[in-house]
Structure 1
């Protein structure tokens, strides 16, 4: 496919991520291409979730849905963090009303060798993601930049052990206490896969990258510093070094460690350009912890979108005033919920 992409017309998001002055605050919404859109719901009646992920044409179409409807400053490729466990040989199902289910989870360290094929060619196994990115870059015609993403190692490990979502992550944390060395080895293996995956996304056309450590809040400070932070840092460093070695221009990188407020200061000293924060921290506190040398993203409570338009406007105004208009990207503090009314929430 031709990689000579259209010129980017709206670079607000890229400039804000890089700390370059912007004339207004850029905005996009986590999970903006998905369940809350009626056009996506109709789409899902015809197509299986992972069939959409695996089809570049279908994934591109879903990615563009919110861009056609709303005046957003970025698109994010439609995919799922669990395409990595799939590529490693694990079965992943998307079950209605339940979410992702991995029928054969890891139950003991020996399962890593029997259930996973860790030595994979990411560009081959996940080529459909790269094809979707390249196709979408062309279809966007430079209107807004395109974000690529991956789940972080600990978050992926948790799904692979729990067999799906969990309110406690007890099975995963049991591994951390009973099999710390094997846990670190698995996290390191996942880190190598994620670095290769993110580099491939940039080569395919991604203009920013976000790493989702969605399960960070299940870890205390000591465990976060041992089982999450080092691998998040390896990813940012590894991606940028690999792109530099390939003589491919680096792109801004965003990290979202949900509920890990204790990590904001540490992450501000990493090679991530943007720290995304959830709604459970005051913007002024997040800025104090992060300092002024990193861009912040967030952090409106997703439930705030159930309010009326006037209340939403007021809450957004207060949020922007608290974060400041520079080195800031407006977003939710987590993903948009499926029953939010799309008729006015993003106007």
Structure 2
């Protein structure tokens, strides 16, 4: 399965980026590696630059988001920078009243729980994320000049995960309000998630137009659903998001937590790369997904606090499982964690993992 070409992109140059090569079935000169939440709380330089700045303030400041995005590239030598942002950024940019509260996460001022609330959800206008686009422009220039082997990944939250925050009003353990709306009023549910898909599409297309090399769609909480519910209530909307950015011809990564039973359906939604959390070996994941998609993952973030001998063993195991997956049809492997870097992680451990993965 080959990616379509675009007039604005230089496909041959992009394929020289190890991450893009692995995602598209080419042969990278090393196994690419990056870490979810690499630009964040585990880095002392991040804490220093964030001092006195709120999370959302940093996400909308072109200079701050540029600096924070580049920090793990300088420190760890990862093969991809991921745009410093948050999945609720496009909701805030569209005009939804919310904040990111330290120790809690996104908090919605007026949760959306009925058709009247759904009707008030606005569209995302490109000018409302102009500072993000400017930051991406700077990032692409710096990476091409100073880190020529490093890709830039953009991202957005998938419609289901955005809906869960809007309905619950913030993080949730059981998603009872979300499921209640989904089951009791399917028409309203699809209207809500369709509007959120529009916002996600607009945000991803802005990032692609600004120059990111790949995008990741985070459906962080889809693992709370059964396979049947995922297929009926979620997959069509994620598939539309992925289809609406396919014309850029750049890899689309799809990831969620606890989605082992959903992997085949997530792959069917149209991703070029499927992210796998730590609960499932990559060769098993490949059998579930099928096809020739690339895989991303999947070291348990908690293992990063173990002795180095344990980490070394686990990294080698995952790479061996990935190679077995490739032997049975996977397009390639991008090494990553099975979720984000934990705040207490020693950054030197991440640097050592990058060095090790590049030898495997």
| Match runs of 1:23-34 below 5 Å | 23-34=29-40
Pair 1:345-2:350 in alignment: yes
Query: For residue 223 of structure 1, what is the aligned residue in structure 2?
Result: 229
Query: What is the CA deviation profile of residues 66-113 of structure 1, one whole-angstrom value per residue up to 9, with x for unaligned ones?
Result: 011012100001011101221232122122222221122113221122
Pair 1:84-2:87 in alignment: no
Structure with more helix by fraction: 2
Query: For residue 180 of structure 1, what is the aligned residue in structure 2?
Result: 186
Query: For residue 131 of structure 1, what is the aligned residue in structure 2?
Result: 134
Identify the match of residue 95 of structure 1 among 98, 101, 118. Answer: 101
Query: What is the CA deviation profile of residues 127-180 of structure 1, one whole-angstrom value per residue up to 9, with x for unaligned ones?
Result: 222111111111222341100000000000001111111111111111111221
CA contact (8 A) 2:88 2:162 kept: yes
Query: What is the CA deviation profile of residues 252-290 of structure 1, one whole-angstrom value per residue up to 9, with x for unaligned ones?
Result: 000003222222223334431100011111222101112
Post-superposition offset of 1:207: 0.4
Name the TM-score, length of structure 1 as normaliser.
0.91
Greater alpha carbon shift after TM alignment, 63-72 vs 7-16: 7-16
Query: For residue 257 of structure 2, what is the aligned residue in structure 1?
Result: 258
Query: For residue 298 of structure 2, what is the aligned residue in structure 1?
Result: 299
Query: What is the CA deviation profile of residues 284-324 of structure 1, one whole-angstrom value per residue up to 9, with x for unaligned ones?
Result: 21011123511000111110101122211110000100111
Post-superposition offset of 1:343: 2.3
Q: Structure 2 unaligned runs (5+)?
A: 1-7, 327-331, 353-360
CA distance in 2, matches of 1:250, 1:292: 19
Post-superposition offset of 1:193: 2.1
CA distance in 2, matches of 1:324, 1:227: 34
SS in 1 for 2:336: strand
Query: For residue 333 of structure 2, what is the aligned residue in structure 1?
Result: 328
RMSD: 1.9
CA distance in 2, matches of 1:41, 1:32: 13
Query: For residue 162 of structure 1, what is the aligned residue in structure 2?
Result: 168
Post-superposition offset of 1:25: 1.3
CA distance in 1, matches of 2:333, 2:57: 35
Q: Structure 1 unaligned runs (5+)?
A: 244-248
Greater alpha carbon shift after TM alignment, 22-31 vs 75-84: 22-31
Greater alpha carbon shift after TM alignment, 290-299 vs 312-321: 290-299
CA distance in 2, matches of 1:124, 1:171: 33
Post-superposition offset of 1:8: 6.2
SS in 2 for 1:126: helix
SS in 2 for 1:72: coil
Query: For residue 246 of structure 1, what is the aligned residue in structure 2?
Result: none
Name the TM-score, length of structure 2 as normaliser.
0.88
In the alignment of these two chains, the number of paired residues is 334
Greater alpha carbon shift after TM alignment, 60-69 vs 221-230: 221-230
Greater alpha carbon shift after TM alignment, 135-144 vs 261-270: 261-270
CA contact (8 A) 1:10 1:145 kept: no
SS in 1 for 2:348: coil
Query: For residue 214 of structure 1, what is the aligned residue in structure 2?
Result: 220
Post-superposition offset of 1:231: 1.2
